[in-house]
């Protein structure tokens, strides 16, 4: 078999090569950015100008349009990190390592924002900024796990070794995700049960569900855009570190 007759590498195989991954996905950044901006424009217009007050919550329902998407992302990002951790441990996939590392600070930020917006909604609705109930406490634990992962990445010089340790830590921490999801069913909590993703469908009128879904998609697109950009930077950083090692070995001062 010659190089001419060798089968062309598959899309997934090419994605495993960091340089190929960056070359393939760099053109996606601007379209993703434009879609994100458009979705936020539409979502905010719905949130402030084309959605009613809730019959119970009043105008504080508008906080839900940023609270629910950030809370959704806090769990979605962790799910992505857990899948990447499997890719890192099982297939030693270099892009899985990069994905894990790039996602952690983003997930930590969205989790902190979910807690922040939730407490600002809770004060006028429940009369308190904070309650040690199942949903809120398990989300706080998720934030601490994220911060632990960010700290672990910074603690290791050898990023390949770090990836193995952090992948195991991430998978152990993933047990918290179903706890967050089902906390409102397992325990008697102040936090209301799920009202969007339920077996019988969403429990809210379309006038409130529409801005909620548009904002959830907008925040998800924001995450995907930032994650992709952060992954490109992480690939460049690893290349930079390799060059610095090479310079040190050859005696050139960097």
Partner 1 sequence: MIDLGPHAVFIVSAYAGVTLAVVALIAWTLFDARRTASKMAALEARGIRRRSAGPAA
Name every residue whose Cβ is closer than 8 Å to that of residue 244 and which is 6 or more positions away in sequence. Answer: 254
Q: Is 106 in the site for partner 1 (CB under 8 A)?
A: yes
State which residue, 40 or 87, has the beta carbon closest to partner 1: 40
* Most distant CA pair in the chain, distance: 73
Q: Is 68 in the site for partner 1 (CB under 8 A)?
A: no
Give φ, ψ of 54 to 5 degrees. -80, 150
CA distance 165 to 55: 49
Interacting span for partner 1 (CB under 8 A) from 7-15, 134-142, 192-200, 237-245: 237-245
Site for partner 1 in 202-231 (CB under 8 A): 222, 226, 229-230
Q: Is 8 in the site for partner 1 (CB under 8 A)?
A: no
Q: Is 185 in the site for partner 1 (CB under 8 A)?
A: no
Name every residue whose Cβ is closer than 8 Å to that of residue 163 and which is 6 or more positions away in sequence. Answer: 88, 96, 97, 100, 101
Q: Is 192 in the site for partner 1 (CB under 8 A)?
A: no
Question: In terms of Cα–Cα distance, which of 162, 143, 142 is closest to 153?
Answer: 162
> Which position among 53, 96, 188, 199 is part of the footprint of partner 1 (CB under 8 A)?
53
Site for partner 1, rule CB under 8 A: 48-49, 53, 58-60, 62-63, 66-67, 70, 106, 109, 112-113, 116-117, 120-121, 123-124, 222, 226, 229-230, 232-233, 236-237, 239-240, 242-244, 246-247, 250, 252-254
């Amino acid at each position: 078999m010659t190089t001419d007759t060798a089968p062309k590498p598959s899309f997934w195989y090419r994605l495993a090569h960091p340089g190929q991954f960056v070359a393939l996905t760099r053109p996606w950044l601007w379209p993703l950015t434009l879609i994100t901006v458009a979705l936020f424009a539409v979502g905010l217009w719905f949130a402030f100008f084309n959605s009613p007050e809730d019959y119970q919550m009043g105008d504080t329902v508008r906080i839900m349009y940023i609270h629910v998407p950030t809370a959704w992302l806090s769990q979605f990002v962790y799910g992505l990190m857990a899948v990447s951790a499997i890719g890192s441990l099982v297939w030693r996939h270099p892009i899985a390592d990069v994905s894990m590392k790039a996602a952690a600070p983003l997930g930590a930020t969205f989790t902190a924002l979910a807690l922040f917006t939730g407490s600002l909604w809770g004060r006028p609705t429940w009369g308190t900024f904070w309650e040690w109930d199942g949903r809120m406490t398990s989300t706080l634990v998720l934030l601490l796990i994220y911060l632990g992962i960010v700290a672990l990445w910074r603690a290791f010089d050898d990023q390949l070794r770090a990836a193995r340790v952090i992948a195991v830590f991430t998978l152990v921490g993933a047990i918290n995700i179903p706890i967050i999801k089902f906390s409102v069913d397992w325990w008697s909590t102040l936090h209301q049960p799920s009202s969007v993703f339920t077996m019988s469908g969403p429990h809210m009128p379309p006038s409130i569900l529409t801005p909620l879904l548009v904002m959830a998609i907008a925040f998800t697109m924001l995450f995907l855009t930032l994650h992709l950009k952060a992954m490109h930077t992480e690939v460049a950083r690893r290349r930079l570190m390799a060059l610095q090692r090479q310079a040190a070995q050859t005696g050139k001062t960097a």
